[in-house]
């Protein structure tokens, strides 16, 4: 065996030990990728399950969110409607409040006027009460005067009664004396003439004598409505015709009827027919009408 | 030993037992390493040559 072979054997042995040591060290310290794979795979499966469950939860949450959103949208629309209604009510209430304030202001001014009027009325009342007091005092004074006048009247009445008794007695004495005188003078064929009293009788007030003036309006019948017993005459208020006047309608020397005026125009007047003489055939156009026959 | 003597001998003999032992050690180390790697690979991947 040559030396080279020996050297190669030694080098082969050393290199084999070194390389095998390296390989053993590497393999012993190498990672267990299968176990890692299995663990990662199981971890991935569990994560996928978690993901699926989370997806389901997410879907449920989304569904719940949609339901909640729908219900909230419904509530929101309801609340918006209520808010609109409340806003409308608030507007109405504010408008009514403004109207009530105006009415309150109006009532306040009316109350002020009423207070002023009340104060004036109070002043007038106090004045009237003072007047009443004065009138009562005058009334008392007049009552006293009336009592005095009544007492005087009673005295005068008693005097008048006494005078009447005296007058009656004097009349009786006069009649007795007249009888005696007549008897005495009848024997001589004479009669006592009525004597003229020295004292003049007192006169009494007589009513003033009233004189009536004739109206003397003359017209003619211009229209006749026999169905309604109406007639129209040719003069009106311009000539002095008034409602309630009565015109006598004549034809020649015949009395036809009366017309009681009920409506007066300027140039004509309408009246109701009264006392229509059937023998004359009723009034006709052209008949005379006058207030005095 | 001369070439003639080698031609005539029937049983070969090791030139040196030391170097034979060194070769045996190297072979044993390589074999042990291969067995260790195979065992390790089998226990980890449950196969020797297939890629799992």
Kindly report, residue by residue over A101-132, the tens digit of the pLDDT. Answer: 999 999 999 999 999 999 999 999 999 999 99
A16: contact with B, CB 8 A cutoff: yes
Kindly report, residue by residue over A69-80, the tens digit of the pLDDT. Answer: 999 999 999 999
Which parts of chain B have pLDDT scores under 50? 1-6
Nearest to A9 among B23, B44, B46 (CB): B23
- A154 Cβ contact partners less than 8 Å away, ≥ 6 residues apart: none
Distance CA A140, CA A291 (A): 59
Distance CA A184, CA A181 (A): 5
- CB proximity under 8 Å: B 1-52 to A: 15-16, 19, 22-23, 25-27, 29-30, 32-33, 36-37, 40, 44-46, 52
Mean pLDDT in residue range A234-244: 89
Distance CA B19, CA A13 (A): 9
Taking CB atoms and an 8 Å cutoff, what residues of chain B touch A12? 22-23, 26
- Give the angle subtended at the CA of B25 by the CAs of B19 and B31, to the nearest 5°: 140
Nearest to A27 among B40, B45, B46 (CB): B40
Distance CA A206, CA A208 (A): 6
Model pLDDT, residue A185: 79
Model pLDDT, residue B13: 67
Model pLDDT, residue B1: 44
Q: Are A201 and A224 in contact (CB under 8 A)?
A: no
Cβ distance of A1 and B40 shorter than 8 Å:
no
Coil vs helix vs strand at B34: helix
Say which DSSP state A288 is in. Answer: E
Alpha carbon A145 to its chain centroid, in Å, reads: 53
Model pLDDT, residue A201: 64
Model pLDDT, residue B2: 45
Distance CA A234, CA A158 (A): 69
Distance CA A214, CA A110 (A): 61
Model pLDDT, residue A206: 64
pLDDT at A58 over 50: yes
Model pLDDT, residue A203: 60
Taking CB atoms and an 8 Å cutoff, what residues of chain A touch B19? 1, 5-6, 9-10
Chain B residue closest in CA terms to A21: B33
A90: contact with B, CB 8 A cutoff: no
Kindly report, residue by residue over A180-223, the tens digit of the pLDDT. Answer: 888 887 767 676 676 676 776 666 666 666 666 777 888 999 99
Reported as a pLDDT band with limits 50, 70 and 90, residue A43 is very high
Distance CA A167, CA A201 (A): 14
Distance CA A166, CA A175 (A): 14
Model pLDDT, residue B10: 66
pTM, full prediction:
0.33
Cβ distance of B19 and A5 shorter than 8 Å:
yes
């Amino acid at each position: 065996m040559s030396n080279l072979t020996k050297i190669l054997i030694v080098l082969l042995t050393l290199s084999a030990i070194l390389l095998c040591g390296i390989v053993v060290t590497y393999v012993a310290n190498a990672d267990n990728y299968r176990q890692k794979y299995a663990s990662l795979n199981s971890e991935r499966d569990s994560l996928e399950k978690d993901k699926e469950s989370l997806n389901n939860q997410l879907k449920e949450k989304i569904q719940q969110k949609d339901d909640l959103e729908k219900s909230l949208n419904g509530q929101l629309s309801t609340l918006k409607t209520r808010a609109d209604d409340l806003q409308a009510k608030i507007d109405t209430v504010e408008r009514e409040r403004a109207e009530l304030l105006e009415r309150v202001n109006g009532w306040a001014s009316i109350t002020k006027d009423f207070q002023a009027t009340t104060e004036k009325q109070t002043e007038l009342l106090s004045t009237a009460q003072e007047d009443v007091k004065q009138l009562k005092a005058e009334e008392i004074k007049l009552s006293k005067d009336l009592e005095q006048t009544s007492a005087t009247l009673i005295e005068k009445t008693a005097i008048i009664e006494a005078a009447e008794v005296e007058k009656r007695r004097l009349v009786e004495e006069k009649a007795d004396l007249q009888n005696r005188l007549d008897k005495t003078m009848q024997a001589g064929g004479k009669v006592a003439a009525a004597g003229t009293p020295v004292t003049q009788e007192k006169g009494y007030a007589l009513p003033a004598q009233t004189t009536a003036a004739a109206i003397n309006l003359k017209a003619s019948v211009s229209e006749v409505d026999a169905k309604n017993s109406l007639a129209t005459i040719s003069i009106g208020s311009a000539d002095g015709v008034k409602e309630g006047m009565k015109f006598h309608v004549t034809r020649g020397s015949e009395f036809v009827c009366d017309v009681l005026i009920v409506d007066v125009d300027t140039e004509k007047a309408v009246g109701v027919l009264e006392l229509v003489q059937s023998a004359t055939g009723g009034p006709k156009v052209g008949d005379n009408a006058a207030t005095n026959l | 030993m001369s070439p003639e003597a080698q031609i005539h001998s029937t049983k070969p003999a090791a030139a040196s037992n030391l170097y034979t032992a060194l070769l045996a050690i190297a072979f044993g180390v390589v074999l042990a390493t291969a067995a260790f790697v195979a065992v390790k690979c089998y226990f980890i991947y449950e196969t020797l040559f297939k890629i799992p």
